[in-house]
Structure 1
Amino acid sequence: MKNFVKSGCTMTVALAAAAASGDLVVQGSLFGVASTSGGVGDPCELACGGVYDLPKAASQAWTLGAPVYWDATAKTVTTSSASGANLKIGVAADAAASQATVGRVRLNGSF
């Protein structure tokens, strides 16, 4: 089709804040995992789908398929929507114990 631009599996953004490769980056409602490191204003390719190990709120147990959200204040993934304050980023791709500090997340990218 003549108006197709790209699949959207990856998106290039100018970083609003410094990020390291593997960090979850959120800009507005767009989120993805940084493929490279960069500083403010640097271009960065974000993977907007797939399964990633991300920092998890340590006080929660996850069940497979549970909706998960990004807590921008704590910089962790949580099962709490905080009444809409946290951005839904996907689902738990595996169960995780409450003491775990990393959780496996399937990003719900838009493609």
Structure 2
Amino acid sequence: MRNFIQPGKVITIVAAAAVSSGSLVVAGKIFGIAATSAAIGEEFELALGGVYELPKTSAQAWTVGAEIYADTDGIATTVSTGNTKIGVAIEDAANPSGVGRVRLNDNF
């Protein structure tokens, strides 16, 4: 196929804000984990899909399969209103706890 570009598991985008390697990044409807750090205006690699341990809203209990969203600060949450759906919890997470494991859904 002459029009095929790449598998799309990792893409290069421009940082709208400073990005740290390993952080959850939402750019419009694209979301993923920063594979590299970048300053504003620099290109960086964004990994799409996979399972990651992410910072979560501490005061929430998660159950396996719960829908997970990213808030505007890049924190994983079960609150859908005003947030971007990113995947599902792959294991229970206690209330309180600062992190949870999430399978990013690269098919939304």
**Would the aligned equivalents of 2:50 and 2:103 in 1 still touch at CA under 8 Å?**
yes
Deviation per CA, 1:16-73, whole angstroms, max 9, x where unpaired? Answer: 0001000011111111100111100111100011000111001111011110000114
Query: What corresponds to 1:19 in structure 2?
Result: 19
Matches within 5 A, 1:25-40: 25-40=25-40
In the alignment, does 2:94 pair up with 1:97? yes
Quote the offset at 1:3 in angstroms: 1.9
TM-score, normalized by length of structure 2?
0.94
**Would the aligned equivalents of 2:24 and 2:75 in 1 still touch at CA under 8 Å?**
no
Opposite residue 77 of structure 1, the aligned amino acid is A
In the alignment, does 2:82 pair up with 1:80? no
Structure-2 separation of matches of 1:2 and 1:42: 29
TM-score, normalized by length of structure 1?
0.92
Name segments (4+ residues, structure 1) moved above 4 Å: none
How many residue pairs end up in the alignment? 108
Identity of aligned residues (%): 53
Assess, with a 3 A threshold, how the Cα gap between structure 1 residues 110 and 8 changes in structure 2: closer, same or farther: farther
**Would the aligned equivalents of 1:48 and 1:110 in 2 still touch at CA under 8 Å?**
no
Long gaps (5+) in structure 2: none
Query: What corresponds to 1:110 in structure 2?
Result: 107
RMSD: 1.3
Long gaps (5+) in structure 1: none
Quote the offset at 1:2 in angstroms: 2.5
Structure-2 separation of matches of 1:21 and 1:41: 15
